[in-house]
Amino acid sequence: MAKTEQIQTTDNIPLKVETIDIRSQIHIVRGKQVMLDSDLAMLYKVETGALNRAVKRNKKRFPEDFCFQLSEEEFLRCQNGISKDDDPDGRGGRRYMPYAFTEQGISMLSAILRSDVAINVSIGIMRAFVEMRKFLATNSLILNRVEELEVKQLEYQKSTDERFDRVFQYIEDHAESEQKIFFDGQIYDAFSLVTTIIQKAKSDIILIDGYVDVNTLNILAKKNSGVDVAIFTYASAPLTKKDVENFNAQYPKLTVKKTQVFHDRFIILDGKTVYHIGASIKDAGKKCFGISLINDSSIVLDILNRLKTI
C-alpha cells in the first residue's frame, strides 16, 4: 500500500501526496536523482514559471549540484515523465528545456517558497528520495543495463533521423529532375511550379526570357527576401525603366539587360541550378509547354560563360 503524507494547502484543505507517485517523478540525470520543475510546481501548488523565477531571484542558493537545466538529450530520456502541457516543443506552452532539482535543491526550495505546503511536500519528497536510493542500491545491475539500452536507442534514433534527413534532402533536390508537361489551360499549375522553382533560390536568380513584362515581375516578386534577380530579354520586351524602379522599391534587387542572343528560356538559381522552360513564364499554362531541370553541369557553365560576354 502506498505511503501518504498529510499536507495542508494555503486554504487549509488537507491534501494527500502518495510517496509512490513522487517516486515515479524522480529521474536519474547526470548520475543524480532529480525532479523536474514542472512536477515540483504541481506538488507545491504554484506555477512552473513562478517557481523558476523564485529560484533565479535566489541564484546563489542554487549552485549546479542543486539545480541545472536539461539538455535536449536529457529531456528526451525523461520525456515519458513530462506532461504534454509542459512539452517545450510547442504542444503546451513551454519554450525552454525544464530545470532539474537534486535532493539538496528541493530542500532549498522549501526555504525560499516559505509556505507550509512547500515544507510538508518537501518532507514527503525527501522520504521518496530515501526509498529511491534503497531501490537503486538493490537493483543497480538491472538499472545499469536499462540505461545502456536507452543510450543505444537514442544513438540509433539520432542516426536514423540523420539518414531520413539525407533522403528527404535528396528528394527535394531532385523533385524536378524529370520534365514537367503542362497543357493549355493549366495556368495555375504552371504558375505554382514556376513560383516553387523561384523560391528555391537562396542568393540570386537569372531569368533568360525574350518576352518579359510586368506579369513576369509579378511572378518574380514571389522570390525570397534578399535574392537578387538579373533578367536577360529582347530589346522589344514591354518592360519599362519605371517598371524596374517600382519593383526595386519593394523587392530589390532587379537588373535588366537587353540581348537577342538566346532563343530558349532559362531560369538559373544561385549560379548552379538551371531549368529549361518551353514558354515565357508570363504565358505559362496558356499553351502546352514543358519545364525540365538540366543536370549536365558543363551546360550550366556554358550558359553562364555566354552571359558574361553580353
Domains of the chain: 4-138 (no CATH), 180-308 (3.30.870.10)
What is the reported pLDDT for 124?
A: 79
Q: pLDDT, tens digit, for every residue of 16-47? A: 444 546 777 888 888 888 889 988 888 888 88
Rounded to whole angstroms, the Cα distance separating 152 from 158 reads 10
Nearest to 291 by CA among 262, 266, 263: 266
Rounded to whole angstroms, the Cα distance separating 307 from 236 reads 19
Rounded to whole angstroms, the Cα distance separating 89 from 3 reads 35
The pTM of the whole model exceeds 0.85: no
- pLDDT classification of 183: cutoffs 50, 70, 90: confident
Q: Which residues pair with 290 in a beta bridge?
A: 181
Residue 203's SS3 state is coil
Rounded to whole angstroms, the Cα distance separating 109 from 179 reads 65
Angle (CA) 48 49 51, round 5°: 65
Q: pLDDT, tens digit, for every residue of 216-257? A: 999 999 999 999 999 999 999 988 999 999 999 999 999 999
What is the reported pLDDT for 145?
A: 63
pLDDT of 61 above 60: yes
Nearest to 7 by CA among 110, 108, 120: 120
